[in-house]
Amino acid sequence: MHLKNLQLIQFKNYSKAKVTFSEEINCFLGINGSGKTNLLDAIHYLCLTKSAFNSVDMQNIQHDQSFFSMKAEFEKANKSIEIQCILESKKKKQLLNNGKAYEKMSEHIGLLPVVLIAPDDTALIKEGSEERRKFFDSILSQLDKNYLAKLVRYNHFLKQRNALIKQFAEQNRFDRNLLEPYDLELISLSNWLYQERTLFIERFKPSLLHHYSEISGQREAVEIRYESHCAKADFEEHFHNSLQKDLIRKRTNVGIHKDDFVFEIDGYPLKKFGSQGQQKSFLIALKLAQFQIFKEVTNTKPILLLDDIFDKLDDYRIGKMMELVAHHEFGQLFITDARPERTKNILKDIDADIVYFDIEKGAIKDRF
């Protein structure tokens, strides 16, 4: 699978841009703030229906403009797929596949797998559990439409139950019959999603540990543990017993929306005790494991977006990544860097079709 070309209108700092890509390695080069990452983000948008960096869709429309449009042609299994995404202010985002609009954005998820490695984006490690749930849910959803459908249903019922609980608490009344259908649905969906997450982590873990030891060259032992209320044999009871607490806090406190994936280093939490280098290695290992699982399950190499890795990683880790590139472990690659000479030097011995793009203030100036 690869991206053949991309057209942007009023997306972030691009007024208008049109570009064709190499099937192998594409490098976006230009000074800080020129718009290199914005190009990666446009690719992310078209593959996953949203920005990797700004979750407020409207903020991705160019300042002082009222819409953005982006269009790209992908090739997958010898078929051409044209994806267009249009967002007008105060209107619903539109996504079209070969000219036909999707009814739901979720229908598109999984068609065009993509993995983004942005070593500075350590929120996945440092922030709360929501970031990690989002990461694993995104992978599972891209791999299995049924998972995504069940997750969407869970979130819908959770929202409804929370609204009802809030109403009960504020009106100082309570009706068990009204609550019961939501409870039953949330308990059943929690159990189902828990099983899927458990099976996934069992498969993901060996790949994560392998990539960590490869990329870090360190001997410390890393670990990933999946924690969930559903792991308890009496989960259903636990859910019901939480009702008083739910009414006080005006929301549902038990269920898979509270799951976490704990990362450890030598038995201690990575976010507290891991060095910056160890955290970065872990982050890359997570993404490489993601890449590998996509490749195995879908038989397709995802598009790989490497944001600023030459600047943010040390020589050892860059060397390890480049070994993977040289051995053609990846499919189509997009790399950003503010220092053209460094990129050219790092890639000089790689036997691949490499195209460099000169990016300047939201414009693609040159292709060489």
Q: Given phi > 0 = left and psi -120 to 50 = alpha, else beta, which region is 316?
A: alpha
Query: Which residue in the block uniquely carries the two structure tokens 């020129």?
Result: 34
Is 30 assigned a ligand-binding role in the annotation?
Answer: yes
Would you say 60 or 278 has its CB closer to ligand ATP? 60
Would you say 7 or 298 has its CB closer to ligand ATP? 7
Min. distance of Cβ 58 from ligand ATP in angstroms?
A: 9
Q: How far apart are the first and last CA of the chain?
A: 23
Burial 110-147 (b: 16+ CB within 10 A, else e): bebbbbbbbbebbebbeeeeeebbebbbebbbbbbeeb
Min. distance of Cβ 322 from ligand ATP in angstroms?
A: 20
Would you say 56 or 77 has its CB closer to ligand ATP? 56
Min. distance of Cβ 201 from ligand ATP in angstroms?
A: 32
Min. distance of Cβ 282 from ligand ATP in angstroms?
A: 22
Is 99 assigned a ligand-binding role in the annotation?
Answer: no
Contact positions toward ligand ATP, by CB under 6 A?
Answer: 12-13, 30, 32-38, 59-63, 308, 336, 338
Q: Which residues are bridge partners to 19 per DSSP?
A: 6
What is the spatial distance between Cα 43 and Cα 94, in angstroms, rounded to a whole number? 16
Min. distance of Cβ 28 from ligand ATP in angstroms?
A: 7
Would you say 36 or 108 has its CB closer to ligand ATP? 36
Task: Please list, in sequence order, all residues whose beta carbon lies within 8 angstroms of the beta carbon of residue 149, skipping any fewer than 6 positions away.
Answer: 106
Min. distance of Cβ 347 from ligand ATP in angstroms?
A: 18
Is 34 assigned a ligand-binding role in the annotation?
Answer: yes
What is the spatial distance between Cα 260 and Cα 127, in angstroms, rounded to a whole number? 11
Min. distance of Cβ 38 from ligand ATP in angstroms?
A: 4
Would you say 63 or 92 has its CB closer to ligand ATP? 63
Min. distance of Cβ 311 from ligand ATP in angstroms?
A: 8
Is 32 assigned a ligand-binding role in the annotation?
Answer: yes
Which two three-digit tokens encode residue 82? 């044209």
Is 33 assigned a ligand-binding role in the annotation?
Answer: yes
Using CA of residue 169, residue 170, residue 174, residue 179, what is the dihedral sign?
negative
Beta-strand relationship, 363-367 and 79-88: unpaired
Alpha helices in the chain (DSSP H): 36-48, 123-126, 129-143, 145-171, 176-216, 235-241, 243-249, 270-273, 276-298, 309-312, 315-326, 340-347
Would you say 57 or 260 has its CB closer to ligand ATP? 57
Would you say 11 or 235 has its CB closer to ligand ATP? 11
For residue 21, give the 3-state DSSP assignment. Answer: coil
Beta-strand relationship, 25-29 and 333-337: parallel
Task: Please list, in sequence order, all residues whose beta carbon lies within 8 angstroms of the beta carbon of residue 170, skipping any fewer than 6 positions away.
Answer: 250
Beta-strand relationship, 354-360 and 25-29: parallel
Annotated binding site for ATP: 30-37
